[in-house]
């Protein structure tokens, strides 16, 4: 094994002998005459082993050990001396001297062996150092990778949370809009959900009008100046119309374009910097455009585009459903009104009775803040309350004179008959029950069941007040319409015995305020002494 050796001794003879011998053994050998020279050489060149005398001029061997190890910590140093003392030996060991050789040398071969062991030690040192360096590097890389991994896991977590949020928004939208039949409510709900997910987003729903010539703004959300948005725009012009006609989603990532100056100005003032326009269509029918706009340099992602397109698809189905529902409602209402007209036409003298009773009942219900669903119940029940009269013969219904007891019984059968007719329509079960009880008396003694007080359905009690008031204030076959003050006093007389006292009071207040249109023209109440 070859190695680089520095021999340090102030005696030239020893230096030369050792140099010659070591070179003969194949070592690369340099020499120095004292510690200082050796230190200078070790500062510019690396040696595997330094074989140094202890006592030398300028710098002794022990100082040299310290100095060399400060610049070359791995260099192995072997000391040699002819005057070894215990103190020197202890000091040498403390200074990390590898070995100690006594002069004069007994056996040159043992000197070579010591140097050889020194070189082996140096090699082990270096190996250990390389291993430590490798370990440290691996550790650093692991720490770095772990950091990267943690960051990536966090990114995936965030991405996952965002996706879950979007998925649940879509699910939420599909769940909540499937039951909404009011188009405006539907659009507001969708826009609210989108704004909840994408910060800085605002939106406008444009829907095609019935003439299919204009796009009407149905709902806009999030714009400070939304009142300045035009109510409608031409379907054949501009970017919104184009999106609809082409049936293609358009994405404006850098700035928005509008040939309509009003839109452009408004959106500029609102700092709109990007937008998506999605056509709303159901099969081949074009319904409108969903325009989602973003403020403050928001960068539209592919996820945003897919989410908004999915929302637009759902919205299109719901708009179509809402349209169908509205058409059905219209048809239903027309049918009920046609029935009411048929009922009223049976009784020649009280034409319009069903419509007027409905109007009065609705006035009471509105005063009680009924919701739209309950108002509809009142409307249908009012229009159909006397439908049972369809089954009563004209002779009895339009008899000018007093009715016999038997005829009266026939008349009294109309709520029962009415219930039977209405019950046959499955969705009108509640209406059937209201109609059935519209001739009950609050204090008892009414028909058909003779129920009292709150056992009578609330809606039936409302109809009853309206029914009696209209009967009193309209011309009948057997008498003319009563003056208003008389009708009021009759209602008051029956308050609590015939009719619900609170509902009667509420209605009378409306009459006094002039909120109830009368069947027959009458002088104002003041002139009638009330
Ligand atoms: Fe009736
Ligand atoms: Fe009636």
Are 71 and 43 within 8 A, CB to CB? yes
User: What is the C-alpha to C-alpha distance for residues 118 and 189, in angstroms, rounded to an integer?
Assistant: 85
Does 521 have pLDDT greater than 80? Answer: no
Residue for token digits 């008031």?
Answer: 469
- Asked if residue 448 has a cis previous peptide bond (ω within 30° of 0), the answer is yes
Q: Tell me how far the alpha carbon of residue 282 is from its chain's centroid.
A: 25
**pLDDT bracket for residue 530 (50, 70, 90):** very low
Q: Which residues pair with 292 in a beta bridge?
A: 203, 276
User: What is the C-alpha to C-alpha distance for residues 239 and 113, in angstroms, rounded to an integer?
Assistant: 94
Ligand 2 center–CA 429 separation, angstroms: 19
Neighbours of 307 (CB within 10 A): 22
* Range from 5-9, 29-33, 95-99, 214-218 carrying the lowest mean pLDDT: 95-99
Could you give the percent of the chain with pLDDT greater than 70?
Answer: 95
Alpha-carbon dihedral angle through residues 113, 115, 117, 122, given to the nearest 10 degrees: -170
Q: What is the 3-class SS of 150-185, one letter each residue?
A: HHHHHHHHHHHHHHHHHHHHHHHHHHHHHCCCCHHH
Ligand 2 center–CA 428 separation, angstroms: 19
Ligand 1 center–CA 48 separation, angstroms: 123
pLDDT of 526 reads 53
User: What is the C-alpha to C-alpha distance for residues 511 and 473, in angstroms, rounded to an integer?
Assistant: 12
In tens, the pLDDT along 372-415 reads 999 999 999 999 999 999 889 988 988 888 889 999 999 999 99
Give the residue from 205, 211, 359 showing the smallest Cα distance to 278: 205
pLDDT of 266 reads 86
In tens, the pLDDT along 216-265 reads 988 888 888 878 888 898 888 888 899 988 999 999 988 888 888 888 88
CA distances from 518 to 189, 359, 461, 484 (A): 42, 11, 20, 9
Average pLDDT score over the chain: 88
Name the closest ligand to CA 383.
2
Does 527 have pLDDT greater than 60? Answer: no
pLDDT of 434 reads 98
Name the superfamily (CATH) of residues 345-512: Hypothetical protein af1432 (1.10.3210.10)
Ligand 1 center–CA 282 separation, angstroms: 46
Ordered DSSP codes for 51-88? EEESS-SSS-HHHHHHHHHHH-TT-EEEEEESS--HHH
Ligand 2 center–CA 354 separation, angstroms: 7
CATH of domain 4-177: 3.40.50.2300
**pLDDT bracket for residue 198 (50, 70, 90):** confident
User: What is the C-alpha to C-alpha distance for residues 435 and 443, in angstroms, rounded to an integer?
Assistant: 19
Ligand 1 center–CA 31 separation, angstroms: 135
CATH of domain 200-299: 3.30.450.40
- Asked if residue 104 has a cis previous peptide bond (ω within 30° of 0), the answer is yes
CA distances from 199 to 162, 189, 253, 296, 307 (A): 13, 16, 16, 10, 14
**pLDDT bracket for residue 524 (50, 70, 90):** low
Neighbours of 62 (CB within 10 A): 20
Q: Tell me how far the alpha carbon of residue 376 is from its chain's centroid.
A: 34
DSSP class of 301? P
Here the contacts of 481-484 (C-beta below 8 Å, separation 24 or greater) are 481/519, 481/520, 481/522, 483/522, 483/523, 483/528, 484/511, 484/518, 484/522, 484/523, 484/525, 484/528, 484/530
Ligand 1 center–CA 468 separation, angstroms: 9
Are 256 and 273 within 8 A, CB to CB? yes
Domain layout of the chain by residue ranges: 4-177, 200-299, 345-512
Q: List the structure tokens of 133.
A: 């360096």
Ligand 2 is an ion; residues with CB less than 5 A from it:
386, 467
Among the residues of 392-457, which ranges form H helices? 394-397, 405-412, 414-423, 429-436
Are 260 and 266 within 8 A, CB to CB? no
Taking every pair of C-alpha atoms in the chain, what is the biggest distance, in angstroms? 164
User: What is the C-alpha to C-alpha distance for residues 327 and 244, in angstroms, rounded to an integer?
Assistant: 24
**pLDDT bracket for residue 84 (50, 70, 90):** low
Are 469 and 517 within 8 A, CB to CB? no
Q: List the structure tokens of 2.
A: 């070859």
In tens, the pLDDT along 145-165 reads 999 999 999 988 888 888 888
DSSP class of 400? S
**pLDDT bracket for residue 529 (50, 70, 90):** very low
pLDDT, mean of residues 4-13: 94
Ligand 2 center–CA 467 separation, angstroms: 5
Ligand 1 center–CA 355 separation, angstroms: 13
Ligand 2 center–CA 353 separation, angstroms: 7
User: What is the C-alpha to C-alpha distance for residues 340 and 333, in angstroms, rounded to an integer?
Assistant: 10
């Amino acid at each position: 094994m070859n190695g680089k050796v520095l021999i340090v001794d102030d005696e030239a003879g020893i230096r030369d002998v050792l140099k010659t011998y070591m070179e003969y053994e194949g070592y690369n050998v340099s020499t120095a005459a004292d510690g200082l020279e050796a230190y200078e050489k070790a500062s510019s060149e690396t040696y595997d082993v330094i074989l140094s005398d202890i006592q030398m001029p300028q710098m002794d061997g022990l100082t040299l050990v310290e100095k060399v190890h400060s610049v070359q910590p791995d260099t192995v140093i072997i000391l040699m001396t002819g005057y070894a003392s215990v103190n020197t030996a202890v000091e040498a060991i403390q200074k990390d001297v590898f070995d100690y050789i006594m002069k004069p040398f007994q056996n040159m071969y043992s000197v070579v062996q010591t140097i050889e062991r020194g070189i082996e030690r140096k090699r082990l040192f270096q190996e250990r150092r390389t291993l430590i360096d490798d370990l440290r590097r691996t550790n650093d890389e692991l720490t770095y990778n772990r950091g990267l991994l943690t960051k990536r896991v966090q990114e995936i977590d965030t991405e996952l949370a965002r996706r879950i949020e979007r998925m649940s928004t879509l699910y939420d939208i599909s769940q909540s809009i499937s039951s909404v039949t009011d188009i405006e409510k539907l659009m507001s709900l969708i826009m609210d959900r989108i704004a909840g997910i994408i910060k800085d987003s605002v939106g406008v729903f444009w829907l095609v009008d019935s003439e299919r010539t204009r796009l009407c703004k149905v709902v806009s959300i999030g714009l400070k100046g939304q009142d300045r948005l035009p109510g409608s725009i031409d379907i054949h012009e501009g970017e919104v119309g184009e999106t609809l006609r082409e049936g293609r989603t358009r994405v404006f990532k850098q700035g928005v374009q509008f040939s309509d100056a009003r839109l452009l100005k408004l959106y500029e003032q609102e700092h709109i910097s990007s937008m998506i326009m999605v056509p709303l269509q159901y099969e081949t029918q074009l319904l409108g455009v969903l325009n989602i706009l973003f403020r403050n340099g928001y960068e539209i992602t592919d996820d945003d585009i897919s989410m908004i397109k999915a929302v637009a698809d759902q919205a299109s189905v719901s708009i179509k459903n809402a349209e169908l529902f509205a058409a059905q409602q219209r048809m239903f209402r027309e049918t009920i009104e046609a029935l009411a007209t048929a009922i009223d036409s049976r009784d020649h003298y009280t034409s319009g009775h069903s419509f007027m009773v409905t109007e009065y009942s609705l006035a009471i219900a509105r005063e009680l803040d009924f919701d739209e669903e309950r108002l509809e119940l009142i409307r249908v029940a009012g229009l159909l309350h006397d439908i049972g009269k369809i089954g009563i013969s004209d002779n009895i219904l339009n008899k000018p004179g007093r009715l016999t007891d038997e005829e009266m019984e026939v008349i009294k059968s109309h709520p029962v008959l009415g219930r039977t007719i209405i019950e046959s329509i499955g969705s009108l079960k509640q209406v059937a029950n209201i109609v059935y009880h519209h001739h009950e008396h609050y204090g008892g003694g009414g028909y058909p069941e003779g129920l009292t007080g709150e056992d009578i359905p609330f809606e039936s009690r409302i109809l009853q007040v309206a029914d009696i008031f209209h009967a009193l204030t309209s011309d009948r076959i057997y008498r003319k319409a009563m003056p208003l003050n008389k009708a009021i006093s009759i209602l008051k007389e029956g308050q609590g015995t015939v009719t619900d006292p609170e509902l009667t009071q509420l209605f009378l207040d409306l009459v006094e305020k002039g909120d109830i249109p009368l069947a027959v023209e009458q002088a104002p109440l003041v002139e009638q002494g009330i």
